[in-house]
Amino acid sequence: MIEGPKDTGNRQDTIQRIQVGVVGLVAVLLLVSVANFVLQRASDEQSALEEIQAEAAGSARELVTDSPSVPAPAPAEPLAELGITPAPVAEDEVMQPVPVVPGKRSQVVPDLEPDPKLEAPMDQER
């Protein structure tokens, strides 16, 4: 009861099926890659890499067009310009509080006064 030749035939058949499957997967992957490449080249949209390169070229052009003989002034308060810390205010720009006179009515903003035509508050029903 020797089953050698029958076993060898199944093994070769299995290996051939695996090879055909792998070749099929590689062919499909190659086909999808080529189709993706063709569609990407045919589209009018820029790829992310092309957008980054265009931005870099624009900023490089700005750097080249700036006059190299005139250096940019160094910021006095770089953190204040970034909004991280408050900028110091000059003494002439400091606003002084308005003194309140006891007998005199202070300035009233009309939007904050209640409407005299209203008889009852709006949150209560009549």
The predicted-structure confidence for 67-95, as pLDDT tens digits, reads as follows 555 566 666 777 767 777 766 677 777 77
pLDDT band at 1, cuts 50/70/90? Answer: very low
Which pair of structure tokens corresponds to residue 80?
């204040």
The secondary structure of 49-90 as a DSSP string is HHHHHHHHHHHHHHHHHS-TTSPPPPPS-HHHHHTSSPPPPP
DSSP code for 3: -
Report residue 45: phi and psi, to 5°. -70, 145
**Could you tell me the pTM of the whole model?**
0.34
Q: Is the pLDDT of residue 8 over 50?
A: yes
